[in-house]
């Protein structure tokens, strides 16, 4: 009780951080065990293996509830302006709780009959990847409408294209795993061993898998470029060297993963290092997600505490962290118990975090840019008169006039997008002073 009370008194962002640490550790363990399930079938089907799976499932049920509650509270004001966000939250919640029920049924069957039906894995994949495709489709649509509204903002365009690539990635991923499940036994028992299909360029499943990886690479590169451009205004606060090291390592680590696998460096074999090779290969995707999310977190920490933009970037960071960890997991190998199924079940929440975080971050940055352009234009139009008069009183009046224009413009943007600008009145005054100094010098 004391621990729970202390946890509730923590800052919301610190509570969310602690929650995400638990989730990341849990799904990392779950996904990695799933990848090596065919090497340790006896251990997995033992009492310890089954108990560990149950613990992971319980953590999933509790943490997903807490995550959804945190997002609902964080987006309370935004959902009041944008009703569809409230509907989306309800839809995601229903889907996630349904997944928890499916996993609970699987556990019950394992405890009572020492077997489960492969249909459960189909349901988890359809629900999770369905949320992936639907949520990112909504985000792509939103980004496209913002692109037209924001005077062809390049950041918004890049994220629009990356979301479209992720949608195709979700479709091909669902097709690939469905093909694997179709080749598994309908009833998985405690004596069955997880089965991974071998890669063969002639097979339809392998071709779908290859297409899936190509699309995911395109999506990753586009997101990487969009992230760099979106975070570029804050690069000085973070430090150029640190920023480019983080982003560079994330790109290299992700792109080198699949070529090494195709060339045979990390291909499973019959020697004693086979399981180690599998873990190294599977962990590469997880590490790329950690590094990619760290870019958002690092820049978020340079922003003013309590600001909307900081909170949005933190949510987006955790979304990408979960997305790449859960997205790299597999449950279609049909292990007993089905390790990997919990990680797959987190895909929907991760996409929802990306939606809410990236939606608000991108719009906030875009609105700030538009607001700054509006302020500069207003000052430029009236600067000639100010320069000819040279009066401090006139400068004060000019600042007052432009402040009203900026406030009105900010309110219009907030009304249309449902997201407030991160620029405070103090930020606007500071920017106005900087522009006026530039005008005086010129």
**Mean pLDDT, consecutive 10-residue segments, the chain of 442 residues?**
52 82 91 84 91 96 92 71 76 94 96 94 95 91 74 75 92 90 91 75 71 85 80 71 77 67 52 52 65 71 72 84 86 91 94 84 60 55 46 50 59 57 61 59 58
Q: Is residue 4 part of a domain?
A: no
Domain count within the chain: 2
> Taking a C-beta distance cutoff of 8 angstroms, is the pair 161, 380 a contact?
no
- Predicted confidence at residue 317, as pLDDT, reads 85
Of 366, 307, 332, 296, the C-alpha closest to 154 is 366
| H/E segment holding residue 403 | helix 392-417
Q: Is residue 353 part of a domain?
A: no
**Which tokens sit at 213?**
């990886």
316 and 242 housed in the same domain: yes
Q: Is residue 238 part of a domain?
A: yes
Q: Which residue is associated with the tokens 């405690």?
A: 190
Give the end of a domain, one of 347, 381, 413: 347
- Predicted confidence at residue 77, as pLDDT, reads 61
Of 227, 269, 275, 273, the C-alpha closest to 251 is 227
Q: How far is CA 109 from the centre of its chain?
A: 33
**Which tokens sit at 6?**
């202390």
Alpha carbon distance 440, 387 (integer Å): 8
Q: Hey, CA dihedral for 273, 198, 253, 311, is it positive or negative?
A: negative
328 and 381 housed in the same domain: no
Q: Is residue 197 part of a domain?
A: yes
For residue 383, the 8-state DSSP code is: H
Of 415, 365, 362, 420, the C-alpha closest to 143 is 362
33 and 90 housed in the same domain: yes
- Predicted confidence at residue 259, as pLDDT, reads 61
276 and 330 housed in the same domain: yes
Of 334, 266, 344, 342, the C-alpha closest to 44 is 334
Give the end of a domain, one of 317, 347, 377: 347
334 and 386 housed in the same domain: no
152 and 228 housed in the same domain: yes
Q: Is residue 417 part of a domain?
A: yes
**Residue 40 DSSP SS3:** coil
392 and 245 housed in the same domain: no
228 and 282 housed in the same domain: yes
Q: Hey, CA dihedral for 171, 249, 241, 25, is it positive or negative?
A: positive
Q: Is residue 3 part of a domain?
A: no
113 and 196 housed in the same domain: yes
Domain carrying residue 224: 11-347
Alpha carbon distance 420, 14 (integer Å): 23
By CB atoms closer than 10 A (0-12, 13-18, 19+), residue 32 is buried
343 and 395 housed in the same domain: no
137 and 211 housed in the same domain: yes
Q: Is residue 29 part of a domain?
A: yes
Alpha carbon distance 87, 196 (integer Å): 38
Q: Is residue 391 part of a domain?
A: yes
**Residue 115's beta-bridge partner residues?**
189
**Which tokens sit at 278?**
């599998």
Q: Which residue is associated with the tokens 């019950």?
A: 108
- Predicted confidence at residue 122, as pLDDT, reads 95
**Residue 117's beta-bridge partner residues?**
187
Alpha carbon distance 143, 159 (integer Å): 7
- Predicted confidence at residue 83, as pLDDT, reads 66
By CB atoms closer than 10 A (0-12, 13-18, 19+), residue 117 is middle
Q: pTM above 0.85?
A: no
Give the end of a domain, one of 347, 381, 399: 347
130 and 257 housed in the same domain: yes
């Amino acid at each position: 009780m004391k621990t729970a009370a202390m946890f509730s008194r923590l800052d919301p962002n610190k509570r969310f951080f602690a929650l995400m640490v638990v989730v990341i550790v849990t799904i990392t363990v779950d996904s990695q065990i799933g990848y090596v399930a065919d090497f340790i079938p006896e251990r997995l089907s033992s009492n310890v293996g089954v108990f560990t799976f149950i613990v992971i499932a319980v953590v999933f049920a509790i943490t997903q509830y807490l995550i959804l509650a945190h997002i609902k509270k964080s987006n309370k004001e935004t959902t009041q302006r944008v009703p569809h966000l409230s509907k989306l939250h309800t839809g995601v919640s229903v889907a996630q709780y349904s997944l928890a029920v499916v996993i609970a049924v699987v556990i019950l069957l394992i405890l009572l009959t020492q077997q489960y039906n492969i249909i459960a894995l189909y349901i988890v994949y359809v629900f999770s990847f369905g949320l992936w495709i639907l949520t990112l489709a909504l985000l792509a649509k939103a980004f496209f409408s913002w692109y037209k509204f924001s005077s062809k903002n390049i950041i918004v365009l890049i994220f629009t294209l990356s979301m479209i690539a992720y949608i195709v990635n979700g479709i091909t991923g669902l097709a690939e795993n469905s093909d694997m499940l179709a080749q598994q036994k309908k009833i998985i028992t405690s004596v069955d061993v997880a089965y991974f299909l071998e890669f063969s360029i002639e097979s339809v499943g392998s071709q779908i898998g290859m297409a899936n990886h190509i699309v995911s690479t395109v999506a990753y590169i586009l997101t990487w470029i969009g992230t760099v451009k979106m975070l570029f205004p804050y690069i000085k606060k973070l430090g150029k060297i640190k920023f480019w090291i983080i982003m560079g390592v994330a790109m290299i680590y992700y792109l080198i993963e699949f070529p090494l696998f195709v060339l045979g460096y990390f291909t499973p074999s019959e020697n004693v290092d086979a399981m180690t090779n599998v873990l190294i290969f599977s962990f590469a995707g997880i590490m790329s997600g950690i590094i990619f999310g760290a870019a958002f977190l690092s820049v978020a920490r340079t922003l003013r505490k309590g600001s909307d933009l900081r909170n949005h970037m933190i949510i987006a960071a955790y979304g990408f962290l979960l997305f790449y960890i859960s997205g790299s997991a597999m449950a279609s190998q049909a292990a007993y118990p089905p390790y990997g199924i919990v990680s797959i079940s987190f895909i929907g929440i991760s996409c929802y975090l990306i939606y809410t975080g990236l939606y608000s971050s991108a719009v906030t940055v875009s609105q700030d840019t538009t607001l700054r352009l509006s302020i500069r234009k207003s000052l430029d139009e009236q600067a000639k008169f100010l320069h000819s008069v040279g009066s401090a009183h006139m400068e004060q009046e000019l600042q007052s006039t432009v402040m009203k224009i900026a406030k009105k413009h900010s309110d219009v943007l907030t009304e249309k997008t449902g997201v407030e600008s991160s620029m405070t009145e103090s930020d606007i005054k500071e920017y106005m002073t900087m522009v006026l100094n530039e005008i005086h010098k010129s």
